Structure 1
């Protein structure tokens, strides 16, 4: 499968429904207790693109995008309006938003990530599709300059510093990002009459592993 570095129209993804999915295997024991485990290290997101359609022009744009991706064949970028940046939704992106690790004086490349914490537990989500021009980064509480002090690969989420961060120096970053997805169907069924009556087509979209 190829991946197309193009974003699904953001005005169409706005209003869609979706979010993270986990897979948990539960085994009930004879004594009433349970054993729970998961084969997934990372969550996987699902969305319904049909709920963002508001006009027949939107339908036409969706069909054009669907055809250009050959249905499920090619992946693409998706803006999750509920979770698309390193900061809280009400705050601006800052280079201090997310810790990427600490320097050792040798390592220059770091992977963007976003942390989700609640109580004593936390989850680190790899960010592989940062939005070009939105990435801020710093080392040792000093903000650095994009294109001079560091470069970001928007297709992988790897940030490379011109000079390796000093040993023990905290490396941080802030960014906006997209979710790598594909259509989870090879068929879109639209009835003009039913659409005008408010019956929207279902267009499932599924996150892909890269």
Structure 2
């Protein structure tokens, strides 16, 4: 089955976005890739659903000040996990 979610996107990846009006791909738009704001060259008709697919970056921080590593061989190391926390609502 399909999965969808609604969230504010502030860091879309350039070249990965597709904007749809209802289920039809739209070409008359530009995106500010630092804010995620999409501006239409001609406003969509009233009542049209605006949807977007694409990739986006997620600002995170490390969740710990220490990371346990294992020395493999030579100059190779292994981390079993790197805990990260998403910075939601941070304005980034």
Q: Could you state the TM-score of these two structures normalised by the residue count of structure 1?
A: 0.34
Identify the residue that residue 183 of structure 1 maps to in structure 2.
62
Q: Could you tell me whether the CA contact under 8 Å between 2:19 and 2:25 is conserved in 1?
A: yes
Q: Which residue of the other structure, out of 78, 82, 86, is the alignment partner of 1:203?
A: 82
Q: State yes or no: 1:159 paired with 2:38.
A: yes
- CA–CA distance in 2 between the matches of 1:163 and 1:205? 41
Q: Which residue of the other structure, out of 137, 143, 148, is the alignment partner of 2:19?
A: 137
Relative to its length, the structure with more helix (as a share) is 1
- CA–CA distance in 2 between the matches of 1:174 and 1:199? 35
Identify the residue that residue 99 of structure 1 maps to in structure 2.
none
Give the aligned CA root-mean-square deviation in angstroms. 2.9
- CA–CA distance in 2 between the matches of 1:199 and 1:133? 34
Give the unaligned 5+ runs of structure 2.
Answer: none
Give the unaligned 5+ runs of structure 1.
Answer: 1-87, 90-113, 116-123
Corresponding residue pairs, total: 85
Cα distance change on mapping 1:131 and 1:199 into 2, 3 Å: closer
Q: Could you state the TM-score of these two structures normalised by the residue count of structure 2?
A: 0.66
Cα distance change on mapping 1:141 and 1:203 into 2, 3 Å: closer
Identify the residue that residue 38 of structure 1 maps to in structure 2.
none
1:168 Cα offset (Å): 1.3
1:143 Cα offset (Å): 1.9
- CA–CA distance in 2 between the matches of 1:138 and 1:196? 49
1:177 Cα offset (Å): 2.2
**CA displacement 1:85-139 (0-9 Å, x = unmatched):** xxx59xxxxxxxxxxxxxxxxxxxxxxxx52xxxxxxxx3222222211100122
